[in-house]
Structure 1
Amino acid sequence: MCLGVPMQILSVDGIAGWATDGQAETLIDLSLTGPLRPGDWVLTFLGAAREVIDAETAARIAAALDGLRAIMAGGDAGDAFADLDTRSPQLPPHLQAALDAGRTTA
């Protein structure tokens, strides 16, 4: 399984850049994201930025990852998933449209 890690861009040099997850600085590949500036947030997978995200999204993902780490260490997730507690599951838009149209099979 591959988990996305939110990182904040520190510096950019062409299609590479230094970024931090708050604990360590890492050189990451930026070739999939387009132009970035220091301060921008990205979601990284295996050393490559795949998506530009906002600071709020980065914080929610980081909290969820911290909650998973706590659970794996035998602890409690705390409020790491509080943003999910108050909402019901949602289908992706294309599946919701199919359901709304009365289609229940592929």
Structure 2
Amino acid sequence: MCIGFPMTVLEGDELSALCERKGVRERISMLLVGEQPSGAHVLVHLGAAVRVLDDDEAAMIGAALDGLGAAVAGDNFDQYFADLIGREPELPAHLRPDMK
């Protein structure tokens, strides 16, 4: 399984960018998404930006990854999934039998 991480662009060009996540900086390939401005969020897989993220999506993915880390450590993780607590799980529209 491959996990993507949201990272923030610090500086770069159409080929690569210096990006950061939680204080860790890494040079990332930008060939799939093109040059992005400083402050943009990108989803990174195996050293390559594969998609540009908006602020909300980057925060949700970051929280989910933090929640996964907390769960693996045996810590409480409810606060990382606030959007899921207190409601019934729902299938995405494309998987619901009534939408086929």
TM-score range, shorter chain: 0.7 to 0.9
Task: State the partner residue of 2:99.
Answer: 100
Counterparts of 1:30 and 1:20, CA distance in 2: 14
**Deviation at residue 99 of structure 1 after TM alignment:** 4.3
Counterparts of 2:98 and 2:89, CA distance in 1: 16
Q: Structure 2 vs 1, CA of residues 87 and 31 (structure 1 numbering), >3 Å: closer, same or farther? A: farther
Matches within 5 A, 1:1-106: 1-85=1-85, 86=87, 88-91=89-92, 93=94, 95=95, 99-101=98-100
1:34-86, Cα deviation, whole Å (9 max, x unpaired): 23111110111111101100111111111111111111112111311111233
Please tell me the root mean square deviation across aligned C-alpha atoms, in Å.
1.9
Counterparts of 1:45 and 1:29, CA distance in 2: 10
Which structure has the greater CA radius of gyration? 1
* Further displaced range: 77-86 or 67-76: 77-86
* Further displaced range: 58-67 or 74-83: 74-83
Amino acid at match of 2:99: D
Gap regions ≥5 residues in structure 2? none
Q: Secondary structure at the residue paired with 1:67?
A: helix
Q: Structure 2 vs 1, CA of residues 87 and 46 (structure 1 numbering), >3 Å: closer, same or farther? A: farther
Q: Structure 2 vs 1, CA of residues 56 and 25 (structure 1 numbering), >3 Å: closer, same or farther? A: same
Identity within the alignment, %: 36
Please, what TM-score do these two structures have when normalized by structure 2? Answer: 0.85
Please, what TM-score do these two structures have when normalized by structure 1? Answer: 0.81
Task: State the partner residue of 1:104.
Answer: none
Amino acid at match of 1:81: F
Gap regions ≥5 residues in structure 1? 102-106
Counterparts of 2:69 and 2:34, CA distance in 1: 31
